[in-house]
Amino acid sequence: METAIDVTLLALLGLTGIALLRVYNLVTAAMLLAIYSLLCASLFTTLDAVDVAFTEAAVGAGVSTVLLLGTLALVGREEKRPLKRQALPLIMVVVTGAALVYGIADIPPFGAPDNPAQQHVAPVYLQESEAATGIPNVVTSVLTSYRGYDTLGEVTVIFTAAVGVLLLLATGRGRGRGPDDG
C-alpha cells in the first residue's frame, strides 16, 4: 500500500513538473510550485524524513510562494514565449538525467540495515544521544547539540538571505508613499 502511495505521489510530481514547464502565466506557475512542494513534502514524510518534509513545506509551499508572488507584483504576471525551440538544452538535460539514473544503481538499497550510513556513527547517536543531551528525538539532538554551531551558521545564512530579499522587495512602489498617494 505504501509503495502504491509513493508511486502515485511520484507520478503526480512528474506531471506537475511537466505542467510547470508548459505554463506561461507566472501566478499559475507559483501555484504549481506550491503543489510541487506539497508533493515533495508528502514523499519526504513517507520516507520518514519528517523534519526535511516540514522544512520543504514551510519554505517551499509557504515562504517561497509569498516571495514569488511579491516578485510578480513588481515584474508582471506573464512570461515571454520563446521564439523558437532549442534542442541543445533538452539534450543536455536528458544526458544529465541519464547519468544520474545510471548513478542510482550504485546507491545502497533504501533503509537496508547494512548501509554505510547506518553503520558508521549512527549507532552511537542512537544509543548515547539521549543520555548525553537529554533530548528524546535523535534528529533534534544531532541538529541542535552535536551540530549546534553548524545549525547556528545555517540560521545566520537564512537570516541574511531573508534580510536581503526583504530589502529588495521593499524598494520601489511600496516605499516613501505619502498619505495622499494611496
Binding site for other proteins (CB under 8 A): 1-2, 5, 8-9, 12, 15-16, 19, 25, 27-28, 30-32, 34-35, 38-39, 41-42, 45-46, 50, 53-54, 57-58, 61-63, 65-66, 69-70, 72-74, 169-170, 173-174, 179, 182
Q: Which is nearer to other proteins, 111 or 182 (CB)?
A: 182
Distance of closest approach, residue 72 Cβ to other proteins, in angstroms: 7
Please say whether the beta carbons of 173 and 76 come within 8 A: no
Joined together, the cell numbers standing for residue 130 give 539521549
- The whole-angstrom separation of Cα 16 and Cα 34 is 10
The alpha carbon of 35 is separated from its chain's Cα centroid by a whole number of angstroms, namely: 12
Residue (9 or 143) nearer to other proteins, CB: 9
* Cβ nearer to other proteins, comparing 45 with 115: 45
| All residues at 6 or more sequence positions from 64 whose CB lies less than 8 Å from its CB, including other chains | 33, 34, 37
| Residue type at 162 in one-letter notation | A
Least Cβ distance, residue 22 to other proteins (angstroms): 9
